[in-house]
Amino acid sequence: MKVPFVDLKLQYQNYKAEIDKAIADVIADTAFIGGSGNKYVQKFESEFAKYLGIANVISCANGTDSLEILLEAYGITEGEEVIVPALSWISSSEAVGRCGAKPVFVDVCEDTLLMDLNLVEKAITKNTKAIMPVHLYGNALNMEEVMRIAKKHNLIVIEDCAQAHGAKYNGKLVGTFGHASSFSFYPGKNLGAYGDAGAIATNDETIAKKCRMIANHGQQRKHDHIIEGRNSRMDGLHAAILSVKLNYLDGWNLARNKAASHYSKILDSTNVSLPIQNKNAYHVFHLYVIRSNKRDQLKEHLSSQGIEVAIHYPTALPFLNAYSYLKHQPEQFPVAFKQTKNILSIPMYPELNVEQIDHISKVINNF
Ligand SMILES: *Cc1c(COP(=O)(O)O)cnc(C)c1O
């Protein structure tokens, strides 16, 4: 039995009529480019704002841009520092570097692989301006503690929710704790477009206005360029597709949770350890990440059986070539350094069925 890592084709088949209509409507209206005149983009922005319970959602071209635009809107620049977890997708530190600031990495917890909040205060210097926590794999970070630390040191908090649409901490949606939050709608994310797309959410009107300007060539109105901005807009097609898919997000997250519970019930190999839900978190399992000290052999074994797997991520951020200039050593981030050799993401998506999970688990248990 072959099992894909995600099955976007199956998802499309299940909602084909609705999605095809959404796409046809946008084309009939030639409402291609985002901006103040696009009703599909405006509709999705207001629906997503309502979903989050946040006053402003500003769509943009992708989830990396949303981080970068936010850092720029907060005026973060050269000589300043932003705290990010050592284990994440490169966007976390890339956005900081692109603003001319320095990414300061913090190691992750041994159990959850989320940023270790006991280490954050040690990383704060007089140049620190912001913390960009990541709800990695869909697991919600303790945002109450992040906000306590940020308040004490007068820091901005930008939540990276790229992997955690609909996740909650203490019953409250992630992306609603920080000063602002960032979302990616990359196709494979829990809420995904049919190409690149992203969004910013914030209750801060001034920041919202700035972000909207930056994302659309610095224009306040057409041809009224207040500043130099950039071209980072969400396409009408993606917005219309996302409007359809948003209705199903909570159900899909529930299905991911059920799939995760089923895995956890069946997987009993002594060679692997299972993902741990953070205390008080509603985990939305963007990824289901197991660990094994025979990871590479296990990966090979699963691949040979037609089960698609992946590693998120094979190298912790401080040890990427892009950051060699920071001269980081493994001892500085021992957990991230060690766990990147053990982690393995196995198939996880809402449509994953019990037979598939049983099969994958059996192959792992027999390894
Ligand atoms: C996917 C992702 C992003 C960036 O999203 P893009 O839309 O691909 O630019 C940022 N942060 C994290 C943690 C991600 O997983």
The yes/no answer on whether domain 249-366 falls in CATH 3.40.630.30 is: no
| CATH number for the segment(s) 8-106+113-246 | 3.40.640.10
**Ligand 1 center to 223 CA (angstroms):** 31
Q: What is the biggest distance separating any 2 CA atoms in the chain, rounded to whole angstroms?
A: 65
AA identity, residue 364:
I
How many whole angstroms from 157 Cα to the centroid of ligand 1?
A: 17
> Atom 7 of ligand 1 has which residue's CA nearest to it?
63
d(CA 103, CA 127): 11
d(CA 143, CA 140): 8
134 CA → ligand 1 middle, Å = 10
Q: Measure 189 CA to ligand 1 centroid, in angstroms.
A: 9
Q: What does the H/E/C string look like for 100-116?
A: CCEEEEECECCCCCCEC
The preferred substitution site among 141, 183, 186, 190 for testing ligand 1, maximizing ligand atoms within 8 Å of CB, is: 186
| Ligand 1 atom with the shortest distance to the CA of 92 | 11
CA dihedral over 63, 68, 73, 79, signed as positive or negative: positive
Which ligand 1 atom sits nearest the alpha carbon of residue 184?
A: 7
> Residue 125's pLDDT is what?
98
Each of the 367 residues of the chain gets a pLDDT tens digit; together they read 999 999 999 999 999 999 999 999 999 999 999 977 899 999 999 999 999 999 999 999 999 999 999 999 999 999 999 999 999 999 999 999 999 999 999 999 999 999 999 999 999 999 999 999 999 999 999 999 999 999 999 999 999 999 999 999 999 999 999 999 999 999 999 999 999 999 999 999 999 999 999 999 999 888 999 999 999 999 999 999 999 999 999 999 999 999 999 999 999 988 899 999 999 999 999 999 999 999 999 999 999 999 999 999 999 999 999 999 999 999 999 999 999 999 999 999 999 999 999 999 999 999 9
Shortest CA distance to 185 belongs to which of 253, 241, 101? 241
Nearest-CA residue for ligand 1 atom 6 is: 63
Distance 97 CA to ligand 1 centre (A): 15
Q: Alpha helices, DSSP H only, in the chain? A: 8-14, 16-28, 39-52, 63-73, 91-98, 120-123, 143-153, 205-215, 236-246, 249-266, 295-304, 334-339, 354-365
Residue nearest (by alpha carbon) to ligand 1 atom 5? 63
Question: What are the DSSP E strand ranges found in 178-240?
Answer: 180-184, 198-202, 219-221, 224-225
Ligand 1 centroid – CA 30 distance (Å): 28
pLDDT of residue 269: 86
Instruction: Give the span between the Cα atoms of 264 and 273, in whole angstroms.
Output: 10
Instruction: Please say whether the beta carbons of 234 and 197 come within 8 A.
Output: yes
Count CB neighbours of 68 within 10 A: 25
Question: Cβ < 6 Å from ligand 1: which residues?
Answer: 62-64, 88-89, 91-92, 134, 160, 162-163, 184, 186, 196, 198
Q: How far is the centre of ligand 1, averaged over its atoms, from the C-alpha of 91 (Å)?
A: 6
What is residue 270's predicted lDDT score, i.e. its pLDDT? 87
Which sequence spans correspond to the domains of the chain? 8-106+113-246, 249-366
